[in-house]
C-alpha cells in the first residue's frame, strides 16, 4: 500500500509543510527560504505577514521568482540569483528552509547556515538513490539537535545548534 502524499503528484512535494509550520511557530526573527515552491512560499509569505516577520526568498529559477515578485509584500524580499555563493546568508535567522537546487548546493548552504540560523528545515532527507547528492552525511555532525519528520515522503529534517527540538513533536 502506498502512503499518502508519497511522491504521487504535487502533493508529495508538500511533505515539508508540517515541520516547516511547526518550526516557524517555535522560532522568532527573520525567515530565509532557499528555493521557492508552490507550497512553502505562499505559506511562509502568509505566516510572516501575520507575525510581522521578514521573509527573504532566493531561487536560481526565474519561473519561481517572477510570479512571486509580482505579489510580494513589503516584508517579503524576493531575489533571482545566478550563483548561490553570492547569497548573503551568513546573518542571524530565526528560521531557514533549505529546498533549492542543484542538489549538491544544499549541504554547502546548510554548512554556511549552521551557526547563523536558529532552526533549519531541510527537505528531501530520506535515504534513497539521490541522498548522496545532497551532501547531508557531512552536515549532520555539525548540529547539536536533530528532528526527523518521517510521516510523509519525501522526509524532512529540522536541525539546530541553538535549541532542543523536543517541541517539534
Residue 5 falls inside a structural domain: no
Please tell me the number of Cα atoms within 13 Å of 143 on its side-chain side: 29
Tell me the C-alpha distance between 78 and 105, whole Å.
19
Contact 100, 37 (CB under 8 A): no
Residue 115 falls inside a structural domain: yes
Residue 46 falls inside a structural domain: yes
Residue 90 falls inside a structural domain: no
Give the tens place of pLDDT for each residue, 107-156.
999 999 999 999 999 999 999 888 889 999 999 999 999 999 999 999 99
* Section 79-95 average pLDDT: 97
Q: Which bin fits 140, alpha (ψ -120 to 50), beta or left (φ > 0)?
A: alpha
Residue 3 falls inside a structural domain: no
Residue 104 falls inside a structural domain: yes
Give the tens place of pLDDT for each residue, 42-74.
999 999 999 999 999 999 998 888 788 776 789
Q: What pLDDT does residue 6 have?
A: 42
Residue 89 falls inside a structural domain: no
Residue 109 falls inside a structural domain: yes
Q: What pLDDT does residue 52 have?
A: 97
Contact 24, 95 (CB under 8 A): yes
Question: 162-168: long-range contacts (C-beta < 8 A, 24 or more apart)?
Answer: 162/118, 162/119, 163/26, 163/118, 163/119, 167/22, 167/26, 168/19, 168/22, 168/23, 168/26
Q: Which domain holds residue 152?
A: 10-84+96-124+133-168
- Total domain count for the chain? 1
Q: What pLDDT does residue 9 have?
A: 41
The enclosing domain of 27 has a CATH number of 3.40.50.150
Amino acid at each position: 500500500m502506498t502512503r499518502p502524499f508519497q511522491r504521487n503528484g504535487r502533493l508529495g512535494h508538500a511533505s515539508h509543510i508540517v515541520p516547516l509550520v511547526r518550526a516557524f511557530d517555535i522560532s522568532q526573527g527573520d525567515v530565509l527560504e532557499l528555493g521557492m515552491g508552490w507550497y512553502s512560499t505562499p505559506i511562509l509569505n502568509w505566516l510572516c505577514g501575520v507575525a510581522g516577520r521578514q521573509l527573504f526568498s532566493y531561487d536560481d529559477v526565474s519561473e519561481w521568482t517572477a510570479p512571486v515578485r509580482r505579489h510580494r509584500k513589503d516584508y517579503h524580499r524576493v531575489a533571482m540569483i545566478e550563483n548561490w555563493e553570492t547569497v548573503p546568508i551568513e546573518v542571524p535567522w530565526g528560521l531557514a528552509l533549505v529546498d533549492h537546487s542543484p542538489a549538491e548546493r544544499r549541504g554547502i548552504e546548510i554548512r554556511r547556515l549552521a551557526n547563523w540560523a536558529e532552526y533549519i528545515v531541510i527537505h528531501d532527507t530520506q535515504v534513497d538513490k539521490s541522498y548522496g547528492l545532497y551532501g547531508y552525511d557531512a552536515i549532520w555532525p555539525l548540529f547539536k539537535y536533530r528532528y526527523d519528520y518521517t510521516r510523509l515522503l519525501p522526509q524532512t529534517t529540522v536541525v539546530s545548534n541553538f535549541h532542543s527540538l523536543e517541541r517539534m513533536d
